[in-house]
Amino acid sequence: MTRRNRALLWGSAGLTAGLAINAAIRLRFMLDMRGDVVLITGGSRGLGLALAREFAGLGCRVAICARKQDELDIAKHDLERRGAEVFAGVCDVSKESEVVNLIQAVRARFGRIDHLINNAGIIRVAPVANMTLDDFRYAMDVMFWGVVYPTLHVLDEMKHRGRGRIANVTSIGGKVSVPHLLPYCCAKFAAVGFSEGLRAELARHGVKVITIAPGLMRTGSYRQAEFKGNHQQEAAWFSISSSLPLMSMGAERAARQIVAAVRRGDSEKILSTQASLLARANGAFPGFIPNLMAAANRFLPHETFDRESIVTGAQAEQHAEDYQRRLTRLGRRAAERLNEMTETRA
């Protein structure tokens, strides 16, 4: 063996050992969550349900909430079938009174709330010309105030114990604003600001806040999304983008990475290589990415005169072209696994 080959061999061995040591250290400092109570908003389907399964697999007691009782019943049965201890409560997180009632009910059942996962969200897709003020208010109510309300009502408990995790599931749309998702992005930008500032303030109390920024994920949630303007075309590009493997990340893989970030107490976790590169590029070249988005917007559907009518992804899917059905096959399979097949009415 030549000197060069020996050097390469030793270098490879050293790198492997270094990676193994780093992995062992990261595992050593992961929080043991067995027996802990985890509250997940929007936990009846999609990513929220995938997260509930992951936390249940760690031995956590899981509380989930959503707006629809039928979806909660299905999710609760799914989790209990996996051996989890579950509480499921109806709650609209945009309404503080309902959040207060939910938190009281969870405490009555489990005695405390150790960790909070703010995951609830909604998506409306359309050009800004087809959006109304109510669209912006609705997005802020659910994805900003729906993060603030649960957080503020569990803070004192966590600070008193000097322990706890709060994970805020935002979006790459909270880092880079995307055409045809303006209300959504505005709310997610606000949630990112709240999450990052909260981490700084709570660190001295032993409570860790984790900002989660996923890119596109294959959860099947496009069926629950709402489309305005040119409904069919908007639904087509959005459902395909969130179903193709090179553009989107599997929900179960995303859930595993989020739970690991929560256990480590990471400051931030951006999910998918594509989303991470986009966020980094936007930070390094702040003028370039908006111009790139402007170019992409030219290929998206144009606005219409109708600013009121809304069609859900499930409704649009009934009239989808054959090519769209083929390209969204993985998305539909995810929808079946993650309780996204229920029909909704906008």
How confident is the model over 277-335, as pLDDT tens digits? 999 999 998 889 999 999 999 999 999 999 999 999 999 999 999 999 999 999 999 99
What is each CA distance from 21 to 17, 162, 195, in whole angstroms?
Answer: 6, 29, 31
Partnered with residue 86 across adjacent β-strands are 62
C-alpha to C-alpha distance for 306 and 329, rounded to whole angstroms: 30
Tell which residue, 183, 46, 172, 44, has the closest CA to residue 123: 183
Q: Mean pLDDT lowest for which of 23-32, 40-49, 87-96, 98-107?
A: 23-32
Buried b (16+ CB within 10 A) or exposed e, 72-109: bebbbebbeeeebbbbbbbbbbbebebbeebbebbbee
Residue 24 makes CB contacts below 8 A (sequence gap 6+) with: none
Structure-token pair, residue 121: 């969200």
Residue 13 has pLDDT above 60, yes or no: no
Q: Which long-range contacts (CB under 8 A, 24 or more apart) does 182-185 make?
A: 182/128, 182/131, 182/136, 183/124, 183/131, 183/135, 183/136, 183/138, 183/139, 183/140, 184/122, 184/123, 184/124, 184/139, 184/143
Whole-number pLDDT of residue 25 = 44
> For domain 31-337, which architecture applies?
3-Layer(aba) Sandwich (3.40)
- Catalytic residue (one of 138, 149, 184, 323): 184
Q: What is the share, in percent, of the chain residues with pLDDT greater than 90?
A: 89
pLDDT (0 to 100) of residue 19: 45
| Residue extents of the structural domains in the chain | 31-337
pTM over 0.85: yes
The encoded tokens of residue 321 equal: 């072209």
State yes or no: is 184 an active-site residue. Answer: yes
Sorting pLDDT into bands at 50, 70 and 90, what band is 61?
A: very high
Residue type (1 letter), 286? P
Q: Which two tokens stand for residue 69?
A: 């009782």
Between CA 227 and CA 127 the distance in angstroms is: 10
d(CA 148, CA 324): 37
CA distance 328 to 244: 7
Q: What are the tokens at 35? A: 């027996």
| Ramachandran region, residue 297 (left: φ > 0; alpha: ψ -120 to 50; beta: rest) | alpha
Burial class (CB in 10 A: 0-12, 13-18, 19+), 303: middle
The 10s digit of each residue's pLDDT in 110-161 is 999 999 999 999 999 999 999 999 999 999 999 999 999 999 999 999 999 9
